[in-house]
Structures are given as C-alpha cells and as structure tokens.
Chain A
Amino acid sequence: MNLKDLKLIYQENRKEIKNRDEIVKELRDILGEKCVSTNNIDILAYTRDSSLISLNWTIEGKIAGLPEIITWPKDEEAIIKVLEIANREKIPIVPFAEGSGVVGGAIPIQGGIILDLKNLDEIIEINEKNLTVTTQTGVNGMNLERYLNAKGYTCGHIPQSLYTSSVGGWIAHKAAGQFSTKYGKIEDIVLGMRIILPEGDKITFEPIARAATGPQLDKYFIGGEGTLGIVTKATLKIWPYPEKRNLISYAFPTMKDSLEAVRETLRENVYPAVVRIYDADETARHFEHVEKAKDKVMTVFVCEGNQKLVDLEDEITRKMCLKNSGIDCGEDPVEHWFETRFKVTETSMFPPYRIVADTIEVSVMWDNAVDLYHNVVETVKQVKGNLLITAHVSHFYPNGVGFYFTFGGVPGKGMTEFDFYKSCWNATIKAVIHSGGSIAHHHGIGINRSHFMEEEWNKGYDVMKKFKNVLDPNNILNPGKIYEKTWKNQGGNE
C-alpha cells in the first residue's frame, strides 16, 4: 500500500526529507537496525494522536500527519545522536510517548522523524524517606501507579488516561489527575527532571524541597509539549497509600450552589482528593439512576488519607453542602463513579454516526466561574450542527477551578467534520477568554489552541518564542505547535 494514497489532513504543512535513505542509514548505524523503521506498518501507527477528530478521520481512512522515519531510542545517548542529525539536516523531530494527547501535540504535522520514548520505561527508585519516586519518563502511568501501590504508595496523579499515558506526556502537557484537589497537578508533583535540550545538551534539575536559587527554570520545561527538550527522567512526589477513604455525594439545585459549597469547603483549608461537579445534563448522563439528583447538579467528593483527618474533612464538606442547599445522595453515586471512571466507550460510539465530539478544559478564578460556564454553553449551542454542550468541574483550588466541557454535533451543510470541530473549539475558547478564563487547564496547547496563545499571553508570547528560538534555533523539536498558528495560517484540510 502507498500511504500517500491516504487522505492527509495536514498535507500543506508537510516537508519531505530530501536525503532520506542516507539519513536512515546513518540512524541505523547509530541506533541499531531494529530501532529505526520506514515500514508502512510502523509509519501508519504514528499518524495520529487521541484528539477526538483523529478518530473520525481514522474510521474514514484519513490520517492527520505522515512521518517519514520512526525511531525507538533505547537511551539518552541515542536521543542526543538523533537530535544531532536532525539539527544538521533541519528535520522535524516529534517526541511520541503513548499518543493519548488530545490537542494534536504528538501529530507529526510536518512529517520528519518520530522519537518514540517508550523504551525509557525503567522505574529507577523509590525514596521512602523523601517520599519520591524517580523514573524514566516513558513509563506508562498505570504501570508506575501499580508498582507504587504494590510498595504501599501512590503518586496521587490519576488522570482518566492513567492507563494510556506516560510520565513524559503528563509533564509535556501539564496534566491533572482526578485526585488533583488534594495532590495537585503534575507541576505540583514533579520535583526533579533530566532534559535533553534540542541541540543535545543534557540538563538535570535535582529534586529539591524548595529553593531560592534565582528564577525557577525547571518549571519552564513543564508544559514544554516536546518543543523545548526531551524529558528523560523525573522525580515525582509520592504518598503513603491512603488508610481511609470517605465517599460523599450531594445534589444541588444549581451549578452556582454547588460551586459555592466547594469554594467554602476549600476556604476552610479542607481538600477532598476528588471533587467533581456535574451540570444537569451530565448528571442525567452519568447518574440517571439517582432519583434525588434528577434535574439537579450532582457533586461527588472523595476524602482520603489519615483516618482522623478524613473524618474531619468529611464533616466540614457536608456542612458546606447542606449550607448551600445540597441533598445528601449517599455513597452510591461515588461508587458508581469509581466503577465507571475508566470505561471510555463514547469515543468509539460517535464516529460511525459521523458525530464529531471533543472535550475542552479551561480554568477560571472563582469570581468568574459561574459566568464562564453559562457563556460557554450559550455560545457553543449557537454553532451550526451542535447537538450537545455540557460540563463538569473537576479540579479545584483555593482561588479558582478547572472546567471540562464536552461538545458534540454533526457538521451542517457544506461543512466538513474538521470545520465543525474547529468552529466548536474556537467558539469555546473565545467565550472563555471573554469570560476572563484561561484557555487550557490540563490538555495543553498542541495545534488546537496555538492560535489563541497571543491573546492568552500578550507580550509574554513573544518572550516564549524567543526562548524557543534560543533553545531550538533550527526549530526541529515538534514544529507547528504552541508557537505557530497552525489552524489559522496553514489550515489542515479535510
């Protein structure tokens, strides 16, 4: 089969490697025969990430990006050598871990070389005194968590994609887990990193408790999305596996009431590990069986850790829920959430009906939270072809929250699936900016949001581009993401 016969979405962005055969030979000499491939079967495996529009393309036999060479480096030295060649030949390099990213981050939109990091999957050590685990970053999240659990610990970072994502991907996209209200986002969890810069230099940020050693350079690389370097090793915080877990759920008359209950709980310095508020539509979708929650806003809490503290958190959480008109729905809805939280079936359900759907997560300070919710819902409803726009709130901070919107619909007349998808995305992000929110909470920028970066960062965006240029003067690392308005300037055609 000729892969070029498949419809390539980001066709106009692609650059062919001129002297491919020589490059392949050189790579094989360095990495070994089996660690380099140009076979169709391997190339096709790296033509998409998990952004939901990719799934509509997959069933239609279309591909998002088309890399030319796949590499599987076994160690840091191999990565450095690949980068050397790429710099010399100006070939795009796309770091690829588990491919669960949902904003196009790992899509090789300019072609080039895929650097699959799965071989870097050694869990190096647990330090029980410091409460840290040091690991290579290609390790799968669930395999790390299972290992920690077996030793009596947890990382507390449990994204819904735990089974299908890596530590490197979490750091790249500034991920957040379902238990983030207690344990924090990945930027709160990472204590140390080793990074190979685009030109091949290695830098190591040793784990530190806290420091006053000038600007916090290490944090700049969290959220780098494979554009600033390859993160090869990380030290993460861990916690003893919680001795107690209390499950609490309340149904509220409105989103506003529920948000108030959570805000007031957090003001008491009480942090349930899990807090999730589902708007009325999502309550109907996930908790249809809970009679007391009918037409209401379901909110689930999990308090966990030290027994005595958990009981106290439980008491305060309940008090705030009752104060804000919450109706106690018992443990059952939380148990239901535990049972179903990894059962993702909708992604498979929609594409055969040509329904286009996606999720968009954003953040906002408390004072704009309710408005942002209503603005996004009202705006996206207006997009031609829209079928649904719903939300839940799943990450909470003393000063604000992370919203998670889900949209779906069928493209209107004359619209491609991709047109509809972009319209919904753009409408959501514009409404978020208009409501004083921030455009991404934990999925990152990738392709989907890069054209809004200027509005998000203003002059800061220029500084960001300058940093990128200093670190990666040949723009080889994951080009077309974050710093370039790919959707706006270069399209991506269906």
Chain B
Amino acid sequence: MGIFDNIEKYSWMGPLIKNADRDVRRRLLKNLRKKKDRFYPEGEYKADIKNLINCMLCPNMCRFDCGTLQASDKETIGPAYKARIGYYLSVGKIDPNDPENKEFVDLIYKCSNEETCKIWCPFEFSVVSLLETVRDDLNDQGLMPEYCKKQIEKLNQTSTIEDHNIFKTYEDKGIENIETKGDDEVFYYVGCEMMKFPEVVKANIEILKKAGVKFSTNLDQKVCCGAPALNIRDFETVNQLANKNKELIEKTGAKLVVSDCPGCVNSLTNKYQKAGIDISIDVIHIVEYFEKLFEEGKIKIQNNIPGEYKTLTIHDPCLLARNLGNTTTIRNILGKIPGLEIRDPIYNKEYTHCCGWSGTVHWADTEISVKEAQNRIEELKETGAKNIVTACPTCELGLSYGIAEEEKDNVKIIDLSILISKAI
C-alpha cells in the first residue's frame, strides 16, 4: 500500500489496510496524496512541519519535566502547545505578521533550552529544536522580537552579551590577562558570563599556573561564542563571531581550548558544527581539563577545605550533563577532596533541572525564568546542604535569582574551580 510500508514501525498496519474494503483503501490513498496539500505550508519554509505535527499531537509525554511549564503552571507553556502554535504560525492559521498575534510569536521563545523533553520524547527530539526552525521563518519574515533584536545589537556592538565589552573589564576586576605569543599549549577561553564572576576566572588562572600549563586568555581580543545568536537563530551574527573565534583560536597555536562555560563549549563544538563552522581544535570544559591534570599528577590536593564548604549539593548544568554528556567530572573531582559530604538532589546528572537562565525564555518572560530558578533552588535545598556546587556561569547567575533575599546568607553557589583552587 505504500503509505506505511517504508515505516517499519507501522508495518502491522499493512494487513489491516490490505483487508479493508475498497472504499476505505481508496480514501486512505487519497488522504496520503493530500497530506501535504492539506497540512503543510505553501512555498518556501524552514519549519520542521513533520515534527511540529508529531509534537503538537502527542499527549505531551514530556510535560512533567518541562522546566518552563513547571515554573508557570499554565497549559499555555506546555511543550505540545508550543509546537501547536509553531505549526499554526507556519501554516498561516495564526498570522505572525499581525501585531495582535505578538503573544503567539513570543511563545516560540519561551523555552529554556534545557532539553529534558528529549529524554522522554517518543520521537527523540527536543522541543526547542523544532521551535528554532519556526524562529528561522520568523526571522526571514523580519519578525524577530524586540528583546531578541536587543541581544543581537549588543553582540554586534560589543561582541559580548553586555552593552559594553565585558572582557575589557578585566583590569578593574583584577583579572590577569595573558596574551598569546602563538605557541600556547592551551587557550583558556573565558565565557562572557564568567566575566561576571571574576573570582572564578582568577581561580582558573591560578590552577592552570600551578599545573605549569602554558596558556593564554587573550581578553583584549576575546569575543562571545555566539550562543545567544545561535538561540535567536541570527546566523549572520553567528558567522561573524564564529570567524573571529576561529581566527583567535588558531592564532594561539593551542592544541586544546578549555572554557569555563559549558555553553561556550557547546557552541564551539556541537552548534558550530551544525551551522557548518569547523573549529578543528578540541574544545572541552575546563573542569574536564582539571580532571585530566589531577590524573596526570600536575595538580594535587594539598589543603583541607574550610569547614563551611563541607556539606555540598551538586547542580549539574544542563549543558554539561545533557548536551555535552558529562555527568562524572564534577563528582570525580569532588571525590578527590577529603572530608566532603556530597548530597545529590533528586534530579541530578542527565536528569538535572535547569537554572532558568538558558535559552531565550529569560528575555521573553523573565518571570518564568525566575520561578524556574526558584524551583531548582528548592530542589537543591531539599538535600539539606547549604552549598551548591556547579560549573557554569549561566547557572550561577540563574540560580542566584532563585534565592530569596533573606536566604542569601544561608544558600551559597560555588563554582567547582573555587573549591579546587582552595584544595590544591
């Protein structure tokens, strides 16, 4: 019969169709022929219609783990509904050009990219991967929302996510800048967001120095990896930044790029690759590199960790645990430090929950992001540990919005590098 033959999964339908009466078979064939005419957009489009349909007609099997839905507690933010709106915008059932429909366009950006949905998806995609294709069409129609345009403007003006070039603040923050002479072993690639946590950058530099690694930071030349533009899907900006990054990375002569931000690692590797940009040098998270340095004996635990840090819980960054597939390094390193009590939250490793600050939702609907951060903080607090260890500046920023003012003294967010620097 053709329609199901090529789909092994539905081969059981074959005999049923064969045995159906002629009229039913005829109608089915007609429906097969008309599927595209009936349910797909006309003309050129980038939206992944097939999977938007799959997602919008699914009984929402990932909804329980969708951070934005759990934060908003509104059906409106449900994953299958986002796909439904994406589909309606794509086929013109909702006109994206009508300013009255702005709220529908905005929904396409209310995702924190955590991709927990992918774990449970019967089709094995993440909802954001579909929404991105809808964003592509919106961009082509000149319908990028203002809050996204603002980010793109900043990227174009300052080459960072801030309205000033945040890398140039290193002097004020007491961060040492090491410019390359073209013969580095390692390029320490500082993330824009990490520039907001100068103590972590300083700790990383200290650790690398202690290990005797020849490295540079190149903060005078450094630009953003382009992650925000990748999420917004402005590939002109992505390409500009990617080219600058490629050039700088190659200029260092380094055989390895290590970044303190899993978002940067994900961009420079997986996302660049998908966008057709090839960085031929290995890029890993700096804690993965530290794990290696421990193994090689280049750094050693020498000091006791101050008592206040003894009881810890781990917040696995989604980008490290799910996108980069590493759920062991943080635990392995903490395991080397004697006297620590580590209490995992219920949702850990690849099942970790988002800090709320990833993706585009924090621009589109800050309230949802803050609630998502609060939810995660509650989960982490449930362990009874007051110290939250993580390894991502975005998480450090996001989680901080989830801590109530009166609790700020009781709940501490610590980058793993800080602990390492205290212990070695």
Mask: chain A, 1-14; 1 = CB below 8 Å from B; 0 = not: 10000000000000
Q: Give CA–CA (A42, B78) in the complex, Å.
A: 11
Q: Mark B53-67, 1 if CB is under 8 A from A, else 0.
A: 111111111111100
Of residues 73 through 106 on chain B, the ones whose CB sits less than 8 Å from some CB of chain A are 73-76, 78, 81, 84-85, 88, 93-95, 98, 100-101, 103-104
Contact indicator A1/B101 (Cβ below 8 Å):
yes
A40 contacts B103, CB within 8 Å? yes
Residues of A close to B73: CB separation below 8 A: 72, 116, 118-119, 121, 138
Q: Is A98 an interface residue (CB 8 A)?
A: yes
Given contacts A41-B103, A42-B74, A353-B3, contact A348 B35 (CB under 8 A): no
The one of A55, A150, A161, A410 in contact with B346, judged by C-beta atoms closer than 8 angstroms, is A150
Instruction: Scan residues 230-248 of chain B and give those whose CB is less than 8 A from a CB of chain A.
Output: none
* CA–CA, A347 and B56, complex, Å: 10
A323 to B85, CA, bound (A): 55
Q: Is the CB of A45 within 8 A of B61?
A: no
Interface residue from B61, B63, B88, B107 paired with A342 (Cβ < 8 Å):
B61
Name the A residues within 8 Å of B123 (CB-CB): 345, 348
Residue A183 interfacial (CB < 8 Å): no
**What's the least CB distance linking A230 to chain B, in Å?**
16
For the complex, give the distance between the alpha carbons of A203 and B311 in Å.
44
CA distance A344 to B59 in the complex (A): 8
Q: How many A-B residue pairs have CB under 8 A?
A: 148
Q: State in angstroms the CA–CA spacing of A99 and B77 once bound together.
A: 13
Q: Distance (Å) between the CB of A3 and the closest chain B CB?
A: 10
- Determine if B24 and A386 form an interchain contact, defined as CB atoms under 8 angstroms apart: yes
A41, B57: Cβ atoms under 8 Å?
A: no
Complex contacts, A351 vs chain B, CB 8 Å: 53, 57
Tell me which of A127-135, A139-147, A184-192, A299-307 binds B: A139-147
Contact of A58 among B11, B56, B63, B120 (CB under 8 A): B56
Q: A59 and B53: CB pair below 8 A?
A: yes
Inter-subunit contact A1/B59 (CB<8 Å)? no
Interface residues of B in 324-349 (CB under 8 A from A): 346-347
- Knowing A41-B103, A349-B10, the reply to whether A164 touches B63 (Cβ < 8 A) is yes
Spot the interface stretch: B25-33, B180-188, B295-303.
B25-33
Is residue A466 contacting chain B, with contact meaning CB distance below 8 A?
Answer: no
From residue A96, how far is it (CB to closest CB) to chain B in Å?
A: 7
| Chain A nearest Cβ from B306, distance in angstroms | 30
A179 at the interface (CB under 8 A from B): no
Contact of B74 among A72, A353, A355 (CB under 8 A): A72
- CB of B174 within 8 Å of the partner chain: no
**Which of A34, A46, A281, A410 meets B75, CB within 8 Å?**
A46
- B274 in the interface, Cβ–Cβ < 8 Å? no
Residues of A within 8 A of B107 (CB): 41
Chain A 49-83, CB within 8 Å of chain B: the 1/0 string?
01000010011010000000000100000000000
B122 within 8 A of A: yes
Contact A345 B24, beta carbon cutoff 8 Å: no
* Closest A residue to B81 using CB positions: A45
The answer for the CA separation of A446 and B88 in the assembled complex, in Å, is 28
Q: Which chain B residue shows the least CB distance to A345?
A: B122
Which of A45, A343, A386: most chain B CB closer than 10 A? A45
Q: Is the CB of A387 within 8 A of B60?
A: no
Q: How many residues of A contact B (CB 8 A)?
A: 59
Residues in A360-411 with C-beta less than 8 Å from chain B? 385-388, 409-411
Q: Give B3-39 interface residues, CB cut-off 8 Å to A.
A: 3, 9-13, 15-17, 20, 23-24, 27-28, 31-32, 35, 38-39
Question: Residue of B at shortest CB range from A149?
Answer: B346
B98-128 CB contacts (< 8 Å) to partner A: 98, 100-101, 103-104, 107, 120, 122-123
Known: A345-B122, A412-B23. A59 touches B57 (CB 8 A): yes
A163 contacts partner chain B, Cβ-Cβ < 8 Å: yes
Which of A141, A288, A342, A343: most chain B Cβ within 10 A? A343
A residues less than 8 Å from B53 (CB atoms)? 59, 348, 351-352
List chain A residues, Cβ under 8 A from B85: 41, 44
Kindly list chain B residues whose C-beta atoms are within 8 Å of the C-beta of A39.
Answer: 103
* Interface contact A355-B12, CB-CB below 8 Å: no
Q: Do B32 and A353 touch (CB < 8 A)?
A: yes
- A288 CA to B70 CA, complexed, in Å: 38
Main SS at interface, chain B? helix
B residues less than 8 Å from A41 (CB atoms):
76, 85, 103-104, 107
Q: Are A347 and B101 in contact (CB under 8 A)?
A: no
Interface contact A45-B31, CB-CB below 8 Å: no
**A353 in contact with B31 given A41-B103, A345-B123 (CB within 8 Å):** yes
A284 at the interface (CB under 8 A from B): yes
Structural contact, B75 and A45, CB atoms closer than 8 A: yes
* A210 interface residue per 8 A CB criterion: no
B27 contact set on A, CB distance < 8 A = 354, 385, 410-412
A348–B39 CB distance below 8 A: no
Contact among B16, B32, B64 with A387 in the assembled complex (CB-CB below 8 Å): B16
CA distance A138 to B27 in the complex (A): 43
Q: With A and B bound together, what is the CA distance between A418 and B13 in angstroms?
A: 22
Whether B17 pairs with A45 at a CB distance below 8 angstroms is no
Please determine whether A344 and B122 come into contact, CB atoms closer than 8 angstroms: yes
B24 touches A352 (CB 8 A): no
Chain A residues in 8 Å Cβ range of B88 = 61
Residues of B within 8 A of A121 (CB): 73
Min CB gap B107→A, angstroms: 6
CB neighbors of B among A321-367 (8 A): 342-345, 347-349, 351-355
Q: Could you give, for residues 85-109 of chain A, a 1 whenever the CB lies within 8 Å of some chain B CB and a 0 otherwise?
A: 0000000000010111000000000
Q: Is there contact, CB below 8 Å, between A385 and B24?
A: yes
A434 within 8 A of B: no
Report B258 CB to chain A, min CB distance, Å: 34
CB distance from B37 to the nearest CB of A (A): 11
Task: Report yes or no: B12 in contact with A45, Cβ–Cβ below 8 A.
Answer: no
Complex CA distance for A409 and B56, rounded to whole angstroms: 21
Q: Which residues of B contact A118 (CB under 8 A)?
A: 73-75
Q: Is the CB of A355 within 8 A of B63?
A: no
A44 to B12, CA, bound (A): 36
User: What separation, in Å, do the CA atoms of A161 and B101 have in the docked complex?
Assistant: 32
Q: Other than the known A59-B53, A281-B16, A412-B23, what 5 A-B pairs have Cβ atoms closer than 8 Å?
A: A45-B81, A50-B59, A50-B60, A98-B63, A347-B57
Closest 6 A-B residue pairs measured CB to CB?
Answer: A285-B12, A118-B73, A348-B57, A343-B122, A348-B54, A142-B64
Give 9 A-B contacts (CB < 8 Å), ordered by A residue. A116-B74, A119-B73, A164-B60, A284-B15, A347-B58, A348-B56, A353-B28, A387-B24, A410-B27
* B contact residues vs A (CB 8 Å cutoff): 3, 9-13, 15-17, 20, 23-24, 27-28, 31-32, 35, 38-39, 53-65, 70, 73-76, 78, 81, 84-85, 88, 93-95, 98, 100-101, 103-104, 107, 120, 122-123, 346-347, 367
